[in-house]
Structure 1
Amino acid sequence: MARPARHVFVCSQNRPAGHPRGSCGQKGCSEVVDEFMQQWQKRQCFAQVLVTPSGCIGPCSMGPNILVYPEGVMYSNVTKADVSEIFDGHLLGGVPVERLKTPADIW
């Protein structure tokens, strides 16, 4: 396997209802994870991008959260509808999606 240019971690953390931190699972992360995997397969960009569902990457109150390396860019409040833009703009195009970036005072 070739080393991909970018590695995206998609939070899939689920916590019990009423947990004080909440979780991306309570905010629809399963749809976001599924869309990342579908886009990844559809685009056949296995050599350029690696997609990994992950545990908590914080901040839980702003989930679903996505973390892209090597840049270390975090996206928050990501929806299924945002995934194509992240793929086109950042993962394949190299330009982070500013409107989805987690605020600098948090990440």
Structure 2
Amino acid sequence: MPKPAKHVFVCMQSRPPGHPRGSCGANGCQEVFEELMFQWQSRDLITHGVQVTGAGCLGPCTAGPNVLVYPEGIMYGGVKKEDVSEIVNGHLIGGEPVERLLMDPEIWG
């Protein structure tokens, strides 16, 4: 496999209900990850140099589900399944981060 130009990490952290830090798992990260993997496979994003990996906690638990794209170090927060196409088309293929989903600079910046 060639070295990816972009590596996408999706937080898959789950904590028990009521945990003070919250978790991406409680906010639908599984759906986000599954949609991203579906698009990665069906659109053959490997040919665009994109790799997708499920990850542990990325930090800002209450702002999740969180998606982190390297090498840019762009973090998206509050991502929903419906947002995945916009991230794929705009950022992963088009090279332009999706402004409306960017993590608050107070948290990641």
The alignment's TM-score, normalised by the length of structure 1, stands at: 0.97
Which residue is equivalent to 1:81? 82
Amino acid at match of 2:19: H
Which 5+ residue runs of structure 1 have no aligned equivalent?
none
CA deviations on 1:27-49 (whole Å, 9 max, x unpaired) are 01110010010000011111410
CA deviations on 1:39-97 (whole Å, 9 max, x unpaired) are 00011111410000001102111100000000000000000000000000101111000
Identity of aligned residues (%): 63
Amino acid at match of 2:45: C
Which residue is equivalent to 1:44? 44
Q: CA RMSD in A?
A: 0.7
Which residue is equivalent to 2:27? 27
Which residue is equivalent to 2:69? 68
Which residue is equivalent to 1:100? 101
Q: In 1, Cα distance between the equivalents of 2:74 and 2:95?
A: 11
How many equivalent residue pairs?
Answer: 107
**SS of equivalent to 1:104:** coil
Q: Moved runs in structure 1, 4+ residues, more than 2 A? A: none
**SS of equivalent to 1:106:** coil
Q: In 2, Cα distance between the equivalents of 1:105 and 1:22?
A: 19
The alignment's TM-score, normalised by the length of structure 2, stands at: 0.96
